[in-house]
Structure 1
């Protein structure tokens, strides 16, 4: 291997820990996992789910006890940054290489993938990926295949081969673009045989292969090659003119961009969900703004991406909106009419692309809506089946922007041809991978805002919805309790499933901010659960005007204005929606010392009916859940309310759960999870033709029966 070309790292992160590596000495697979995790941690080296790494070790054959060479390589799917041994495939090297004896040529490429299974050494390992032969046919002990933006910028440049040769003085080889597979592995081996001293191979329009005799040698070699690529790009920025031809327009202030994005996101989500309900993501990253505000946007955006990893997640090209950064978006119907032709044109373009490029055995056409939407001056939106996929698509498009920027700085950017792009997107092996994915959960693609969700009933509802695939917005007027809920949700679900906002339902500004948060984070809202509440139990003569106003402000006015704000978003999306109001048995049952709370709950219940009658035309269902005596994890029951109810019924506070259970027909204590299950039933899809109803979850209180 050639000597070092880099002594210090500026563009990549050197993370190798000698002490950690020493603890893994002798465990080559452990060192492979360690190296992979380090590489996957630095997004300048590879992107989420992209790239693969391998090592070859001598092991005993369990069949005969003889020593054999085994290759451990990242299997199909997964991510280098979080890779574990269970994510590796283990294959006999001699069997894998022996497959060339029956290889029938590039026309029969796909049939080789099934044969990889006959080379498996460890039956508990991951299924081998299409890149397996690319590692298997190379003679090196440790190999890294990554998609660094800096390397792909050179690989996607018109003069990429010449630049690679000059930049590395022949120490990095070049293999022209070809779809990954068995034949590409053979071509890479041929490149090595013709140039045995090379330290890596640049794959045209694709990525980079580097290697070493040890895990550390491979790691440092990878860093050095990528560092040199990145430094070369940096040296050339501005030498061939302004980046992306210079700015064509300027962006508004960040707050204004956020306001425009929040206003537009539900409209875009509605268009993008014409076939499947989508979740959105928005970014106005500086790298994004530099590109979308440039003179070259019009030329480069239609070209699409080059690297297959980028293309698979961002589609053939983005949709660029013809909107001004300061466009008036207040009249949503007017904006919809302006956007409609652009979406129609994109769908027609995509259908033409499919029909022009399809093969006899191609899978059926998929969703024709765009994944990436560019709003010049404001940012980019991405839409996908869930938040993580939408966010990753956004990250990949930023990778594509980095590649275009680099390629334009040193030469000119080239993308995959439409046919090559189609062959990747509709590859039968990719289709098989899609078919193996788990079926979506009942609430996948749904966005739920739950008020008062930092604890008790609200948190239980938010958890149930998240368990069933929804994205949720936690909101509460208690900052400390909300912070604790955020930590819990982050640990249990990860940060793509939820966002949060401080919201007092009596505060109009906080309601607006929370709804805007939902639109920017996920693209809109589909389900609103009005759960925020409080209770005051006093005899008639002790009730104050302040008590009365607080009850009606939170329970009635709060429910009304939160619903009003969310319905505005639902109408923009034009996909219907659900409003669930958590009311109470007390809306129907008269009890002592309860005039303010009970009458406010009755108002909530009738407001639910009124809203159901008004919103049916929008396909927005409004239903109520009537709990009773849900004491667990409830702030309401932590204070004077419990004391008031105990006094009213002549029992001790600690006797209340049993007291309430005994007076029910089922003799059951009601838990927050019981209310959450009721809410799930309403939005699960099984009650899509039900609105204006009341679902009692009280253990059976005859006086609370609606009919």
Structure 2
């Protein structure tokens, strides 16, 4: 077999040697500043392809972007539309890529205009898929459940190729197949002409009874296809949130100013879940431009963001009398301004996607029940809590829900400690004459339920909010075992 493949490759190379493979259009050029354009296109395209399934749940896609020289040249070629319409190389590829590729021949600079253009391309693709399904079902006289009609591959003029899948693995597989398909079509056309497989043969594979049986048994994870960003992800609570989101099917981006801590969390989670649904993209939450750049990078790597979890926080122990103004500024910069910057940076993504989303702020029990010598932390968290309520008021029109979680005494474990308790723990142990285990027991016994609060409990609430199980925004959700003085009121 290898011998025959090698002979075929040699034959093709000889036949196309010296021939022009692709003829470019004079009116389209490669995009010069591609990075922001890729982010903008990915978010808009991802929003256009999001759709409700038969259960009414909004299905979203993960995106894989490719921009090899061949893909760039195809995107600006005279035959780009013909190539995109000409179908897969072999029928089984249709399961991953659909039969055709959606082609966007111009990248309009205005966001609304770009959305209209992409929406029109998707609408035309969907109509053509419905036509294909109706014709094939009628020809066979059968009754089948139509698969979702949305494109899996896009070619964007001057940018390259975008592949979609319900997971990163699916998106990467679709991209690999489509990239090889396009290269093969280029070679076929250079030799003579690429002749596509008939729609009848495509339908036989796409609607093979075994595939239909699999469809009937299909049950996706709660957050499959969604993309989550967690700041302060190197600590115990960030770890617990990431774990629960991954278990629910989301793709997760970890961010922490201490990249070594984020890498440790990432390593533990990759070992546990053994998938590629997790990335590290560090940024400084105190710097808005850093946050905005990170959000664009997430869009380039994954397609956008659906769930934002502002969790980054620092603590400082000092009475007001002893609190240095610069220390207060540092705590406010991370806890309050960091939350503000993260929320603000995510808003353009939610707008361009047009599919709503969730901002789930990790607040604190101290918002409702502050402690002495903990003013910098308590006040900064109260400010973050308040700006989150304002965000709930302002972002509801986008379908974005903003809720707050108020944990208390989440210590972490031996693998991932709490950065907050690393700071305040020694002082609390000293003042109470306790060791670390004794301090944990003290806080467990002070709550009404006598419960040890774990990071995974916070993560469970994040998943609850992110999965749209109730029409809730602007809420505060205590995860503290019951602290009467911290009851929201």
TM-score using structure 1 length? 0.64
Displacement after TM superposition at 1:415 (Å): 0.6
Q: Contact (CA 8 Å) 2:106, 2:156: kept in 1 or not?
A: yes
SS of the residue 1:382 aligns to: strand
In structure 1, the residue matched to 2:159 is: 378
SS of the residue 1:364 aligns to: coil
How do residues 19-38 of structure 1 correspond to structure 2 at under 5 angstroms?
Answer: none
Q: Structure 2: 5+ residue runs without aligned partners?
A: 53-58
In structure 2, the residue matched to 1:244 is: 22
Stretches (4+) displaced over 6 A: none
For each residue in 1:143-184, what CA deviation from the matched residue of structure 2 results, as whole angstroms up to 9, or x when unmatched? xxxxxxxxxxxxxxxxxxxxxxxxxxxxxxxxxxxxxxxxxx
**d(CA) in 2 for partners of 1:339 and 1:684?**
27
In structure 2, the residue matched to 1:365 is: 146
Q: Contact (CA 8 Å) 2:288, 2:345: kept in 1 or not?
A: no
CA distance 1:434–1:590, change in 2 (3 Å): closer
Aligned length: 477
2:133 counterpart of 1:350: no
| Partner of residue 65 from structure 2, selected from 282, 292, 298 | 282
2:236 counterpart of 1:456: yes
**d(CA) in 2 for partners of 1:496 and 1:639?**
31
Displacement after TM superposition at 1:610 (Å): 1.5
- The structure with the largest alpha-carbon Rg is 1
| Partner of residue 424 from structure 1, selected from 177, 190, 205 | 205
For each residue in 1:640-673, what CA deviation from the matched residue of structure 2 results, as whole angstroms up to 9, or x when unmatched? 4223334565655553212211211112222211
SS of the residue 2:312 aligns to: coil
**d(CA) in 1 for partners of 2:358 and 2:407?**
19
In structure 2, the residue matched to 1:434 is: 215
Q: Superposition RMSD on alpha carbons, in Å?
A: 2.1
In structure 2, the residue matched to 1:599 is: 379
How do residues 90-169 of structure 1 correspond to structure 2 at under 5 angstroms?
Answer: none
**d(CA) in 2 for partners of 1:644 and 1:540?**
16
CA distance 1:618–1:298, change in 2 (3 Å): closer
In structure 1, the residue matched to 2:55 is: none
How do residues 225-264 of structure 1 correspond to structure 2 at under 5 angstroms?
Answer: 225-239=4-18, 241-245=19-23, 249-252=28-31, 256-264=33-41
Q: Contact (CA 8 Å) 1:362, 1:426: kept in 2 or not?
A: no
Q: Contact (CA 8 Å) 2:314, 2:420: kept in 1 or not?
A: no
In structure 2, the residue matched to 1:266 is: 43
How do residues 403-414 of structure 1 correspond to structure 2 at under 5 angstroms?
Answer: 403-414=184-195
**d(CA) in 2 for partners of 1:394 and 1:529?**
29
SS of the residue 2:180 aligns to: helix
TM-score using structure 2 length? 0.92
Q: Contact (CA 8 Å) 2:92, 2:206: kept in 1 or not?
A: no
| Partner of residue 628 from structure 1, selected from 405, 408, 412 | 408
Displacement after TM superposition at 1:238 (Å): 3.3
CA distance 1:629–1:353, change in 2 (3 Å): same
Q: Contact (CA 8 Å) 1:499, 1:518: kept in 2 or not?
A: no
| Partner of residue 304 from structure 1, selected from 87, 92, 96 | 87
Q: Structure 1: 5+ residue runs without aligned partners?
A: 1-221
2:340 counterpart of 1:560: yes
Displacement after TM superposition at 1:567 (Å): 2.3
Displacement after TM superposition at 1:635 (Å): 4.3
| Partner of residue 476 from structure 1, selected from 256, 267, 286 | 256
Q: Contact (CA 8 Å) 1:584, 1:626: kept in 2 or not?
A: yes
Q: Contact (CA 8 Å) 2:363, 2:405: kept in 1 or not?
A: yes
SS of the residue 1:578 aligns to: strand
**d(CA) in 2 for partners of 1:565 and 1:386?**
24
| Partner of residue 447 from structure 2, selected from 653, 664, 667 | 664
Which structure has more relative contact order (CA 8 Å, sep 6+)? It is 2
